[in-house]
């Protein structure tokens, strides 16, 4: 069975893969219906007899078997019969999750009936929900909790020791050249071997080292090199590499990759060189050495420049040339833009704003020094100057000015190097954060598994993720998913304070430490796995976007009770196991921010952020739909999702709902009830006292307010008062009053929807707020109003389904049952329809029924006015829709000879009674002037009947003859289709016997039409038959004694008795009946209750009667 459910689900998903979204939803809907039917079949045999009886009564309200119920009806039936609660007790498994199945009824109906398009996201969400239902019902096998053959990332590659220990030292990501020179800072920066062990030689760094090596050895190479990247982009790290290379001179054999760099430079050993360092952030522009003084001091020639240093005047090129000389010299200058920006005396500028050069005197000398230095180095064959410049200016306006001037100076002579380019960042991160992997091939296996998933998803993931090159990126980025690093570099690094490589390393170091400590089970680290509850990780992000997002994270994403986490707990299954909702919310948050204008993330990218082995892909669409409905700060537009510190429509809606007053809800409910009550009869909405409902003969409906709902205290007492009294007097017309109410259990749902509607309307009517909403949010408000409006009609129809009326013994309760899907009938129409189906309200009343119900056996006559009053007053009689029901029954009974009607001195019998004769003085009489003829046979018409219906006419349309006979004889037939068959048979017989002609000719003649066509459009013409042979005289009497087969009795009545009656004969009929039992004696009830009772009712004179054993 489990395999069958799974195969059906797989088939639905294949339809979705083919783009057949509506068919996929219909297929999933059938699975969901069958799930309810399966549960019903499992549950019912385990119920006690009283419980089974309750379920049977609930099912009877739908008028169908369980196999015929639609999804909406199944949900309603299970709710009405409380089957989900019973299933939990009887089957030992919680099936309450199926309560949410009602959320999908509208989507299923759209797919089946409306023809409106179904989006892929909707279909995915629905199939994902169906898959969850099947799994939680135990009908499909849940995915394994482990990640199958793919091990968790930390079993393949271990984080660095300090990260594993949870004591991440963030200083290792903040390289400082001045600390290295001074012998301070982390060991892995101070020690050359440790430093190079953690350094990945990118293409840019290799080229930089080889160029400097070549130049210092007297070979070719750029003399002035500028390293320009964003903050934290690897500039300082490159300078430290140069410093250690020439100051520490490590053994090339102990530094992997260094020998290759030497070969690239055309060398076999490291050359010796002097190294001078100037770090602008460590130097003091006011009291410290000048850049030229610091360099001269490190080169051992400070005395040459002492005066220039002390007087803060830049030396000329000749002096610099003699200072540097021909000896190999490497000058490293870091953070010089910041230094130049600080070489200004703001107080001097403020004193003499007209001569700002006074305050900038020292800055001018520094810039002049850099100008002379670059020119000098350029002409020295074994000298190299390497300086770093940021891509954006520090210190605001002054920093921009300094950076611009430095770029002009260095731009004339330098070559620009970029230490880290493109995908090299992946290797840098791995080298800095992790030890070497135990199984290097595992990264490729993991990448291949993810790529197989992406190929299967097709266009549901971004196109680059399906290309072969993406596999290589995953291998390089392992154990991170490339998307994690891409988001950091492409979005977060655009914030001015985010230091690119340094910032990425710092944040990812925190992430790795957290996931390792928690034993994260996934094969890769994806955006969904960032733990925003970790204070340091959260703060690392918040410092760029603002602390106002602290509340956003706590409310929507993660604080133990955030809305996304609550969704995971409530929905269980994959949601709880994999943290789907909170993971998606985390991924959206991570991708929400950028220093530029781009914001948000699409569903295709979110699949990359969340999906891995064991997670059903369809769950992403379902989870996003629920996040949209539940989260307060999640925004969406154009298919992209992002978080903002501004509340979204959900939050605004919650706030507006809190402002809705109870009296507003009551007014809205009353208004809607007045609109949907209908105009078929008089309606009184929310009567407060019995006198609010007048005592009228005509049918009327009273609709009760919430405080008078069924099962509320004292409601039966109140209803009894309404039915029995009108003010201080007794109610006379009790059989003309209906009371409609709802069950008190329905009030919370009804109230919630009314409150939501009023809140949505308040949002739309708030002009200021409406202008602030995005166009997509405005459309969402309109859509929600439309949905709530449509849902309210159904909710009100479902709730207001209990009718109270006066019964023979107290109050009689009726249940209208749940409305069918899409039903839009008024409340009154539903009430009338149900009463008609139950036989309580009649629009036609057979004359014999009128006689039995309106007159006691001993009554011979009764005024018609009293009969009309009785049907309005007494609950034991049927309700009538109007007086015309009784009038028509009387006219028909008189016409058929069942009784007579006296109006003054005039007695009507076997004739039409004019409507105007049915006045108050009309009296219905049981006795008739003569015994009534036997009733017409129920199932046959003769050609003579057709001729009789023509009257004196020689030619008439067949349809008119049909209408006359139907009006006269239709009541004798069970249904009109049977009468129609009898009519066509008589028509055919008369034509074949030559009693009349029909035009056009029927089938049998060349190209003749069908008999149905003759009935619809043909004409019947009476044939003038030759007179019968003349006899000496026509008889004045006729006596017949014959044995007639009982099965031909109807023919005897039509062909013998009725023609004689139509000829004006007064018939006297004596019947001799002999009935012999063939299988046991007759039941006494047949003789007494049927045969003899009928003889009495028709006024038969029994001449002889005997019984034999």
Question: CB neighbours (10 Å) of residue 968?
Answer: 16
Chain segment 723-734, per-residue pLDDT in tens: 999 988 999 999
CATH number at residue 356: 3.40.50
SS3 1021: strand
The pLDDT, as a whole number, for residue 358 is: 56
The pLDDT, as a whole number, for residue 1030 is: 43
Give alpha helix (H) positions in 81-137: 83-91, 105-109, 120-136
Read off the pLDDT band of 572 (50, 70, 90): confident
Alpha carbon distances (Å) from 665 to 652, 659, 671:
19, 11, 10
Q: 591 with 615, same domain?
A: yes
Chain segment 1031-1085, per-residue pLDDT in tens: 445 577 778 877 777 656 655 765 677 667 656 677 778 888 888 776 667 666 5
Q: 611 with 662, same domain?
A: no
Average pLDDT over residues 833-846: 90
Task: Provide the mean pLDDT of the chain.
Answer: 85
Q: 278 with 187, same domain?
A: yes
Q: 115 with 223, same domain?
A: no
Question: For residue 572, is it left (φ>0), alpha (ψ between -120 and 50) or beta?
Answer: left
Average pLDDT over residues 357-377: 88
562 inside domain: yes
Q: 755 with 672, same domain?
A: yes
1076 inside domain: no
Closest CA to 639 of 583, 588, 675: 588
Q: Hey, what's the torsion of the CAs at 936, 942, 943, 946, to 10 degrees?
A: 30
What is the DSSP annotation of 494-556? GSTT--HHHHHHHHHHHHHHHHHHTT---SSB-GGG--TTSHHHHHHHHHHH-TTHHHHIIII
Q: Domain range for residue 785?
A: 656-836
SS3 813: strand
SS3 729: strand
Q: 405 with 433, same domain?
A: no
Q: 184 with 209, same domain?
A: yes
Average pLDDT over residues 314-335: 93
Residue 528 has pLDDT above 60, yes or no: yes
Distance CA(766)–CA(623), nearest Å, equals 31
CA angle at residue 1096 from 1090 to 1100, to 5 degrees?
A: 115
Average pLDDT over residues 691-717: 89
Distance CA(1065)–CA(1059), nearest Å, equals 9
Read off the pLDDT band of 231 (50, 70, 90): very low
Residue 888 has pLDDT above 90, yes or no: yes
819 inside domain: yes
918 inside domain: no
Distance CA(573)–CA(136), nearest Å, equals 7
More confident residue, 61 or 1008: 61
578-589: b or e for each residue (b if 16 or more CB lie within 10 Å)? bbbbbbbbbbbb
Chain segment 941-992, per-residue pLDDT in tens: 888 888 888 877 888 999 999 998 888 888 888 888 889 989 999 988 888 8
What is the DSSP annotation of 423-445? THHHHHHHHHHB---S-TTHHHH
Distance CA(123)–CA(190), nearest Å, equals 59
Distance CA(117)–CA(110), nearest Å, equals 8
282 inside domain: yes
Locate the DSSP E strands across 693-744: 700-703, 725-726, 729-730, 737-741
Chain segment 29-39, per-residue pLDDT in tens: 999 999 999 99
The pair phi, psi for residue 685, each rounded to 5°, is -95, 125
Residue 704 has pLDDT above 90, yes or no: yes
CB-CB contact of 259 with 252 (8 Å): yes
What is the DSSP annotation of 1041-1079? -----GGGHHHHIIIIIHHHHHTTPPP----------SS
Read off the pLDDT band of 638 (50, 70, 90): confident
Out of 52-61, 135-144, 175-184, 532-541, pick the least confident: 135-144
The pLDDT, as a whole number, for residue 232 is: 45
626 inside domain: yes
Out of 232-236, 558-562, 713-717, pick the least confident: 232-236
Residue 706 has pLDDT above 60, yes or no: yes
Chain segment 89-104, per-residue pLDDT in tens: 888 778 888 888 888 8
Average pLDDT over residues 996-1014: 72
Residue 353 has pLDDT above 60, yes or no: no
Average pLDDT over residues 778-789: 90
More confident residue, 468 or 732: 732
Read off the pLDDT band of 350 (50, 70, 90): low
The pLDDT, as a whole number, for residue 145 is: 36
What is the DSSP annotation of 173-197? GS--HHHHHHT-S-HHHHSHHHHHH
Distance CA(62)–CA(65), nearest Å, equals 8
Residue 624 has pLDDT above 50, yes or no: yes
Pairing mode, strands 224-229 and 415-417: parallel
CB-CB contact of 46 with 147 (8 Å): no
Closest CA to 97 of 122, 132, 138: 132
CA angle at residue 310 from 306 to 316, to 5 degrees?
A: 65
Residue 191 has pLDDT above 90, yes or no: no
CB-CB contact of 399 with 446 (8 Å): no
Cis status, amide bond into 479, omega within 30 of 0: yes
The pLDDT, as a whole number, for residue 663 is: 93
Residue 818 has pLDDT above 90, yes or no: no
CA-only gyration radius of the chain, Å = 49
- Domain boundary pick from 388, 417, 446: 417
Q: 53 with 81, same domain?
A: yes
Q: 806 with 692, same domain?
A: yes
Distance CA(217)–CA(1030), nearest Å, equals 153
Pairing mode, strands 923-925 and 900-903: antiparallel
Distance CA(943)–CA(986), nearest Å, equals 5
Q: 443 with 578, same domain?
A: yes
CA 246 to chain CA mean position, Å: 66
> 118-132, 587-601, 800-814, 1000-1014 — which one is most confidently predicted on average?
800-814
Q: 406 with 463, same domain?
A: no
CB-CB contact of 854 with 867 (8 Å): yes
Residue 356 has pLDDT above 70, yes or no: no
Closest CA to 965 of 952, 985, 979: 979
311 inside domain: yes
Quick one: which H or E segment has residue 814?
strand 810-815
Q: 547 with 631, same domain?
A: yes
- Which own/partner pairs from 1049-1052 qualify as long-range (CB within 8 Å, at least 24 positions apart)? 1049/937, 1050/937, 1050/938, 1050/939, 1050/940, 1051/940, 1051/942
The pLDDT, as a whole number, for residue 867 is: 93
Of all residues in the chain, the percent with pLDDT exceeding 90 is 37
CA angle at residue 679 from 675 to 683, to 5 degrees?
A: 80
Question: CB neighbours (10 Å) of residue 609?
Answer: 24
The pLDDT, as a whole number, for residue 900 is: 93
CB-CB contact of 1020 with 961 (8 Å): yes
883 inside domain: no
Cβ contacts of 623 within 8 Å, gap of 6 or more: 128, 567, 575, 580, 581, 584
Residue 1099 has pLDDT above 50, yes or no: yes
Residue 143 has pLDDT above 70, yes or no: no
Q: How many domains does the chain have?
A: 5
Please state at what angle helix 361-379 crosses helix 317-324, rounded to 10 degrees: 50
CA angle at residue 216 from 215 to 217, to 5 degrees?
A: 90
- Which own/partner pairs from 703-708 qualify as long-range (CB within 8 Å, at least 24 positions apart)? 703/673, 703/677, 703/739, 703/740, 703/741, 703/800, 703/827, 704/739, 704/740, 704/741, 704/742, 705/666, 705/670, 706/666, 706/669, 706/742, 706/744, 706/747, 706/750, 706/751, 708/741
Tell me the two tokens of residue 361.
């005197």
- Domain boundary pick from 802, 836, 870: 836
Question: CB neighbours (10 Å) of residue 1082?
Answer: 12
Question: CB neighbours (10 Å) of residue 737?
Answer: 26
Place of tokens 């829709």: 881
Place of tokens 């990448």: 447
The length of the chain, given as a count of residues: 1109
The pLDDT, as a whole number, for residue 3 is: 44
Read off the pLDDT band of 50 (50, 70, 90): confident
Residue 109 has pLDDT above 90, yes or no: no
């Amino acid at each position: 069975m489990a395999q069958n459910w799974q195969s059906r689900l797989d088939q639905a998903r294949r339809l979705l893969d083919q783009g057949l979204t509506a068919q996929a939803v219909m297929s999933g809907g059938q699975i969901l219906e069958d799930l309810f039917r399966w549960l019903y079949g499992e549950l019912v045999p385990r119920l006690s007899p009283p419980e089974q009886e309750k379920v049977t009564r609930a099912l009877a309200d739908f008028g169908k078997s369980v196999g015929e119920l639609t999804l909406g009806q199944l949900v309603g039936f299970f709710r009405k019969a409380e089957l989900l609660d019973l299933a939990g007790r009887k089957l030992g498994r919680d099936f309450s999750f199926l309560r949410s199945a009602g959320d999908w009824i509208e989507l299923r109906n759209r797919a089946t009936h409306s023809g409106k398009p179904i989006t892929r996201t909707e279909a995915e969400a629905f199939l994902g929900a169906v898959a969850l239902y099947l799994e939680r019902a135990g009908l499909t096998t849940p995915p394994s909790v482990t990640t199958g053959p793919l091990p968790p990332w930390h079993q393949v590659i271990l984080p660095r020791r300090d990260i594993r220990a949870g004591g991440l030292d963030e200083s290792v990501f903040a390289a400082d050249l001045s600390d290295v020179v001074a012998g301070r800072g982390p060991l892995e920066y101070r020690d050359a071997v440790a430093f190079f062990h953690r350094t990945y030689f990118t293409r840019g760094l290799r080229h930089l080292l080889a160029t400097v090596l070549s130049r210092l050895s007297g070979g070719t190479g750029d003399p002035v090199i500028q390293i320009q990247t964003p903050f934290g982009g690897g500039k300082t790290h490159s300078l430290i590499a140069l410093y250690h290379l020439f100051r520490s001179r490590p053994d090339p054999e102990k530094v992997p990759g260094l020998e290759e760099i030497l070969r690239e430079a055309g060398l076999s050993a490291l050359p010796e060189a002097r190294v001078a360092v100037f770090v602008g952030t460590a130097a003091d522009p006011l009291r410290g050495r000048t850049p030229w003084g610091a360099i001269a001091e490190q080169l051992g020639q400070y005395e040459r420049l002492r005066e220039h240093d002390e007087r803060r005047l830049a030396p000329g090129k000749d002096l610099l040339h003699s200072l540097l000389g021909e000896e190999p010299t490497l000058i490293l200058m870091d953070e010089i833009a910041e230094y130049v920006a600080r070489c200004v005396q703001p107080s001097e500028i403020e004193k003499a704003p007209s001569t700002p050069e006074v305050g900038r005197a020292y800055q001018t000398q520094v810039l002049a020094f850099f100008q002379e230095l670059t020119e000098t180095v350029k002409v020295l064959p074994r000298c190299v100057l390497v300086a770093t410049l940021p891509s954006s200016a520090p210190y605001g306006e002054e920093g921009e000015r300094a950076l611009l001037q430095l770029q002009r100076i260095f731009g004339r002579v330098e070559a620009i190097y970029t230490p880290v380019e493109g995908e090299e960042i992946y290797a840098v991160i791995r080298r800095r954060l992790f030890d070497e992997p135990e199984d290097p091939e595992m990264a490729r296996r993991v990448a291949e598994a993810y790529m197989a998933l992406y190929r299967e998803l097709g266009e549901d993931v971004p196109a680059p993720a399906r290309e072969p090159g993406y596999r290589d990126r995953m291998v390089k980025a392992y154990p991170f998913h490339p998307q994690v690093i891409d988001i950091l570099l492409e979005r977060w690094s655009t914030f001015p304070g985010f230091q690119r490589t340094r910032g990425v390393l710092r944040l990812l170091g925190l992430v790795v430490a957290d996931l390792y400590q928690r034993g994260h089970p996934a094969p890769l680290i994806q955006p969904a796995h960032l733990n925003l509850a970790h204070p340091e990780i959260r703060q690392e992000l918040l410092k760029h976007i603002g602390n106002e997002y602290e509340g956003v994270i706590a409310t929507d994403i993660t604080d133990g009770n955030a809305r996304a986490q609550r969704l995971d707990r409530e929905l269980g299954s994959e949601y709880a196991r994999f943290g789907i909702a909170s993971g998606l919310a985390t991924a959206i948050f991570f991708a929400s921010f950028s220093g530029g204008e781009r914001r948000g993330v699409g569903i295709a990218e979110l699949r990359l952020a969340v999906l891995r082995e064991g997670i059903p892909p369809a769950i992403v669409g379902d989870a996003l739909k629920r996040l949209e409905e539940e989260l307060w700060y999640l925004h969406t537009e154009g298919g992209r999702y992002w978080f903002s510190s501004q509340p979204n429509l959900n939050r605004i809606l919650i706030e507006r709902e809190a402002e809705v007053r109870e009296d507003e809800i009551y007014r809205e409910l009353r208004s809607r009830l007045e609109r949907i009550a209908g105009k078929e009869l008089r309606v009184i909405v929310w009567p407060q006292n019995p006198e609010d409902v007048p005592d009228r003969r005509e049918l009327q409906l009273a609709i009760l307010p919430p405080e008078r709902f069924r099962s509320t205290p004292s409601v039966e007492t109140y209803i009894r008062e309404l039915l029995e009294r009108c003010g201080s007097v007794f109610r006379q017309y009790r059989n003309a009053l209906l009371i409609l109410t709802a069950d008190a259990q329905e009030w919370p749902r009804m109230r919630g929807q009314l409150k939501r509607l009023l809140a949505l309307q308040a949002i739309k009517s708030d002009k200021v707020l409406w202008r602030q909403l995005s166009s997509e949010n405005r459309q969402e408000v309109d859509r929600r109003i439309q949905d709530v409006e449509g849902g309210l009609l159904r909710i009100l129809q479902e709730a207001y389904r209990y009718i109270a009326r006066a019964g023979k013994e107290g109050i009689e309760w009726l249940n209208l049952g749940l409305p069918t899907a899409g039903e839009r009938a008024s409340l009154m129409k539903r009430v009338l329809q149900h009463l008609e189906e139950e036989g309580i309200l009649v629009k036609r009343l057979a004359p014999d029924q009128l006689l039995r119900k309106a007159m006691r056996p001993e009554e011979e006559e009764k005024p018609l006015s009293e009969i009309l009053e009785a049907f309005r007053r007494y609950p034991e009689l049927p309700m009538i829709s109007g007086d015309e029901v009784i009038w028509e029954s009387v006219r028909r009974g008189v016409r058929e000879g069942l009784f007579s009607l006296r109006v003054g001195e005039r007695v009507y019998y076997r004739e039409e009674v004019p409507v105007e004769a049915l006045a108050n003085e009309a009296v219905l009489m049981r006795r008739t002037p003569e015994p009534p003829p036997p009733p017409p046979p129920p199932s046959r018409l003769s050609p003579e009947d057709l001729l009789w219906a023509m009257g004196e006419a020689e030619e008439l349309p067949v349809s008119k003859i049909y209408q006359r006979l139907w009006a006269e004889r239709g009541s004798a037939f069970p249904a009109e289709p049977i009468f129609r068959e009898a009519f066509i048979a008589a028509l055919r017989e008369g034509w074949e016997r030559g009693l009349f002609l029909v035009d056009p000719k029927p089938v049998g003649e060349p190209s003749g039409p069908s008999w149905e066509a003759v009935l619809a459009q043909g004409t019947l013409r009476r044939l003038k038959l030759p007179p019968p042979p003349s006899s000496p005289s026509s008889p004045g009497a006729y006596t017949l004694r014959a044995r007639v087969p009982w099965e031909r009795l109807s023919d005897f009545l039509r062909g013998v008795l009725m023609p004689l009656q139509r000829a004006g004969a007064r018939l006297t009929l004596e019947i001799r009946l002999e009935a012999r039992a063939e299988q046991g004696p007759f039941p006494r009830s047949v003789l007494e209750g049927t045969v003899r009772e009928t003889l009495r009712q028709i006024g038969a004179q029994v001449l002889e009667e005997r019984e034999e054993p």
